[in-house]
Chain A
């Protein structure tokens, strides 16, 4: 009796120890493999499908046709979803193709040497303050180059290269609130300081009150600007803020031609500021 009790205790402790070994050891991958092997060989669904097939053969023709029609309808629905996804992808490719074709036709008239690039990312904090392009040092990009965005069938001022890396570059957009440059427009070709206002567009500041601006007047970069070459289209006047005028100046609100949310292709024009060293030119 005592021997029976002691052997029972020995076996108990041995099995408990073995259980703890199973708990502690990382056996999950081995166990999962064995489970999969068993379930593949003992899968009852194969057996069930055969049973359902046999049941279908013994059904009246009308009911069988109804069931087959339902199955076909489900297939059609799945294919329809797949084709809709593919169609939307084709649409995007077609639009990109149209844009690139227009770019190609316009590229012949580019006055300055440059490189075409794609916008790959926008700055995370504010999508309007800057963006990244897929060309860098190895493509001949340098700081200070002018970036023209392709929007509405033409190239318009978008920004300026601020940082250059080996394979990509960062550009600060003209609507960045810390960015400004000299621009002109209107029938008098009046100049002013163009400042960025993020999603509100641009403000042409310090416009002398003797000059008149009308809504719709086109604004261009000034020849006296050190930031950009002159004559690049910037935007059009959307509002004249004469009541906010101070002393003999007033402000003009500008809607940029570039849609920074939709801009995908850009042209990076070579430009060396007149103030930069002669080595850069």
Chain B
């Protein structure tokens, strides 16, 4: 189980790096790490998902040029929030999953921007990240989740 989640983690990291290097639309790239973070809440057990999200944040910190540790914190918080919402939200429905993904994507950007602003007195994200990026990532999230669920899911938790 752990081995499969490690393989899944490596595939997501490689996809995030490769896609970011070769395919950029309007200066934006898909955030596969965030997609995997949200997907892991329904694919893995709660503790497993939390640790998985933390390491995804760790990789995102390495691949971005922001303050190291901010993505670790934000992904951990988002993962814990989604785990807490599992009893109240319908994770089996694609529509509710998409709404949750969209909402938490904005929360992630806002949290990161505010924290970064508090440290550096400068905005890390541009208007494109606030307006275009959530919709762009939402378009691909459904496909990403289906692939993860069908071929890479380690354990489904109720």
Digitize B68-91: 1 where CB-to-A-CB distance is under 8 Å, 0 elsewhere.
Answer: 111011001100100100000000
> Are B68 and A18 closer than 8 Å at their CB atoms?
no
Digitize A89-107: 1 where CB-to-B-CB distance is under 8 Å, 0 elsewhere.
Answer: 0000000000000000000
Q: Write the chain B residue with the least CB distance to A22.
A: B69
Question: Chain A residues with Cβ under 8 A from B123's Cβ?
Answer: none
> Are A15 and B50 closer than 8 Å at their CB atoms?
yes
Question: Chain B residues with Cβ under 8 A from A24's Cβ?
Answer: 69
> Is A42 interfacial (CB-CB < 8 Å)?
yes
Give Cα A253 to B57, complex, Å: 78
> Is B24 interfacial (CB-CB < 8 Å)?
no
- Label chain A's interface by main secondary structure: helix
Q: Provided the pairs A12-B50, A28-B68, A31-B62 are in contact, do residues A19 and B76 lie with their beta carbons within 8 angstroms?
A: yes
Give Cα A141 to B68, complex, Å: 60
Q: Provided the pairs A20-B69, A20-B73, A23-B69 are in contact, do residues A44 and B21 lie with their beta carbons within 8 angstroms?
A: yes
B 8-59 contacts with A by CB, 8 A? 17-18, 21-22, 46-47, 50-51, 54, 57
> Is B4 interfacial (CB-CB < 8 Å)?
no
> Are B68 and A12 closer than 8 Å at their CB atoms?
no
Of the candidates B18, B51, B76, the one whose C-beta lies within 8 Å of that of A16 is B76
Give Cα A27 to B83, complex, Å: 30
> Is A7 interfacial (CB-CB < 8 Å)?
yes
Give Cα A18 to B77, complex, Å: 12
A to B contact number (C-beta, < 8 Å):
57
> Is A34 interfacial (CB-CB < 8 Å)?
yes
Question: Chain A residues with Cβ under 8 A from B68's Cβ?
Answer: 22-23, 27-28, 31
Give Cα A177 to B17, complex, Å: 69
Output the least CB separation between A31 and chain B (Å): 5
Number of B interface residues, CB 8 Å?
22
> Are B62 and A15 closer than 8 Å at their CB atoms?
no
A 87-144 contacts with B by CB, 8 A? none
Q: Write the chain A residue with the least CB distance to B58.
A: A22
> Is B129 interfacial (CB-CB < 8 Å)?
no
> Is A4 interfacial (CB-CB < 8 Å)?
yes
Output the least CB separation between B43 and chain A (Å): 16
Q: Provided the pairs A15-B50, A15-B51 are in contact, do residues A22 and B17 lie with their beta carbons within 8 angstroms?
A: no
> Is B149 interfacial (CB-CB < 8 Å)?
no
Output the least CB separation between A219 and chain B (Å): 62
Of the candidates A11, A20, A44, the one whose C-beta lies within 8 Å of that of B22 is A44
A 21-80 contacts with B by CB, 8 A? 21-24, 27-28, 31, 34-35, 38, 42, 44
Q: Write the chain B residue with the least CB distance to A4.
A: B46
> Are A11 and B51 closer than 8 Å at their CB atoms?
yes
> Are A22 and B72 closer than 8 Å at their CB atoms?
yes
> Are B46 and A15 closer than 8 Å at their CB atoms?
no
Of the candidates B22, B54, B70, the one whose C-beta lies within 8 Å of that of A15 is B54
> Are B54 and A35 closer than 8 Å at their CB atoms?
no
> Are B50 and A22 closer than 8 Å at their CB atoms?
no
Of the candidates B17, B22, B47, B54, the one whose C-beta lies within 8 Å of that of A8 is B47
Question: Chain B residues with Cβ under 8 A from A22's Cβ?
Answer: 61, 68-69, 72
Give Cα A214 to B41, complex, Å: 100
> Are A35 and B62 closer than 8 Å at their CB atoms?
yes
> Is B67 interfacial (CB-CB < 8 Å)?
yes
Residues in B lying within 8 Å of A, measured CB to CB: 17-18, 21-22, 46-47, 50-51, 54, 57, 61-62, 67-70, 72-73, 76-77, 80, 83
Residues in A lying within 8 Å of B, measured CB to CB: 4, 7-8, 11-12, 15-16, 18-24, 27-28, 31, 34-35, 38, 42, 44
Q: 3 closest A-B pairs (Cβ-Cβ)?
A: A22-B69, A19-B73, A23-B69
A sample of 8 more A-B contacts (CB under 8 A), given A22-B72, A31-B68, is A11-B47, A12-B50, A15-B76, A19-B70, A19-B72, A23-B68, A35-B62, A44-B18
- Please name 17 pairs of A and B residues whose Cβ atoms are closer than 8 Å in the assembled complex, sorted by A: A15-B54, A15-B72, A15-B76, A16-B76, A18-B72, A19-B57, A19-B69, A19-B70, A22-B68, A22-B69, A23-B69, A27-B68, A27-B69, A28-B68, A31-B62, A38-B62, A44-B21
